[in-house]
Amino acid sequence: MPEEIRMQQNKLADLIERHCPREGVHETAIPSLFFIRLSHTTEPAYRIYKPSFCFIAKGLKEVFLAQERFTYGPANYLIASMNLPVVGQVIKASPNVPYLSFKLEFTQSQILEVLNSSEFQPMPKENSKRALFVGQMESDLMDAILRLARLLDEPKDIPFLAPLFVREILYRLLQGQYGVTLGQIAMEGSNTYQIREAIEQIIHHYVEPLRVEELAEIASMSVSSFHRNFKEVTAMSPLQFQKQLRLQEARRLLLSESADAADVAFRIGYESASQFSREYSRMFGSPPRADIKRLKENFHIE
């Protein structure tokens, strides 16, 4: 790693540590910017990644999209270009050297705005590409990240300068090795753009029965082409994608409410409680009751 980038990372790590006196995820005063501090490795965490740019100043993390593993640390960054159900796990952290992370969420319209207001050549409408990827950190990008984070020490400058620095970060990413892949989410008519619309439909209606023909129509594709492009973007089939959404929501409901597993199964769209229990066990490693009991004991949840 170049020494310049290493020095910038150390400055960012110091800044994150100052603004994160406690463990966990911290929403900052800069819209859509989050800092994360953890002093220990974690169990796998199941969640939906929103479109976001993630960078680790200290530590190491693994993210699974279906069966694909992405490992990244201070030399890299990770981008989720659309809403995706993933499993994340911090694999390097300690009280002496805590995991310190920077997460900036963005929207498709922000990407489009940068494309339209800069001198990018028209982007080709390429074939669908994976919506999660790890890139190599570069000095210009690191500099923009650091300037955005430093605004937290000058709150009065945030309203004016933060949008400019966010645009610069997105501009640098669009110039980078995955720039075309990222830009596709904003290119109306591209396969990636059309799959993104189908994903939004599944996310907003995950309780309802999945009708692939309707999704293919939303994406303006044949059913076979839709299946192929959907799997290319998400590493899973539409049915597997929906199942992940349902089971993640079921676990959240079981943890937050004193609800019966069968009742939760029907609320998230399952017609069979036994099928729900089988699929829950396959995803989380044990049946609903045992899994929730273990989580509450491990994390002292009342």
Tokens matching residue 285: 């490693």
Q: Which residues pair with 49 in a beta bridge?
A: 84
User: Would you say residue 160 has pLDDT above 90?
Assistant: yes
The domains of the chain are located at: 3-185, 240-299
For the chain, what is the HEC assignment?
A: CCHHHHHHHHHHHHHHHHHCCCCEEEECCCCCEEEEEECCCCCCEEEEECCEEEEEEECEEEEEECCEEEEECCCEEEEECCCEEEEEEEEECCCCCCEEEEEEECCHHHHHHHHHHCCCCCCCCCCCCCCEEEEECCHHHHHHHHHHHHHHHCHHHHHHHHHHHHHHHHHHHHHCCCHHHHHHHHCCCCHHHHHHHHHHHHHHCCCCCCCHHHHHHHCCCCHHHHHHHHHHHHCCCHHHHHHHHHHHHHHHHHHHCCCCHHHHHHHCCCCCHHHHHHHHHHHHCCCHHHHHHHHHHHHCCC
Angle, CA 193 vertex, CA 188 and CA 194 arms, to 5°: 100
Same fold, 3-185 and 240-299: no
For the segment 79-97, the average pLDDT, to the nearest whole number, is 97
CATH of domain 3-185: 2.60.120.810
Instruction: State the pLDDT at residue 301.
Output: 42
- Can you tell me the mean pLDDT for 53-80? 97
Burial class (CB in 10 A: 0-12, 13-18, 19+), 106: buried
- 229-253: per-residue pLDDT in tens? 999 999 999 999 999 999 999 999 9
- According to the model, what pLDDT value does residue 240 have? 98
d(Cα 209, Cα 203) in Å, to the nearest integer? Answer: 12
Phi, psi of 270 (to 5 degrees): -80, 140
At 69, list the tokens. 């593993």
| pLDDT for 124 | 67
Q: Which two tokens stand for residue 31?
A: 């819209």
Q: What is the pTM of this model?
A: 0.94
Question: Token digits for 61?
Answer: 């993390």
CA distances from 71 to 10, 68, 195 (A): 20, 10, 25
How much is the average pLDDT of 173-197?
92
Q: Is the pLDDT of residue 117 over 50?
A: yes
Pick the CATH number of 240-299 from 1.10.10.60, 1.20.120.550, 1.10.760.10, 3.90.1150.10: 1.10.10.60
Which residues are CB-contacts of 224 (< 8 A; sequence separation ≥ 6)?
none
pLDDT digits (tens, 9 = 90+) for 253-288: 999 887 899 999 999 999 999 999 999 999 999 999
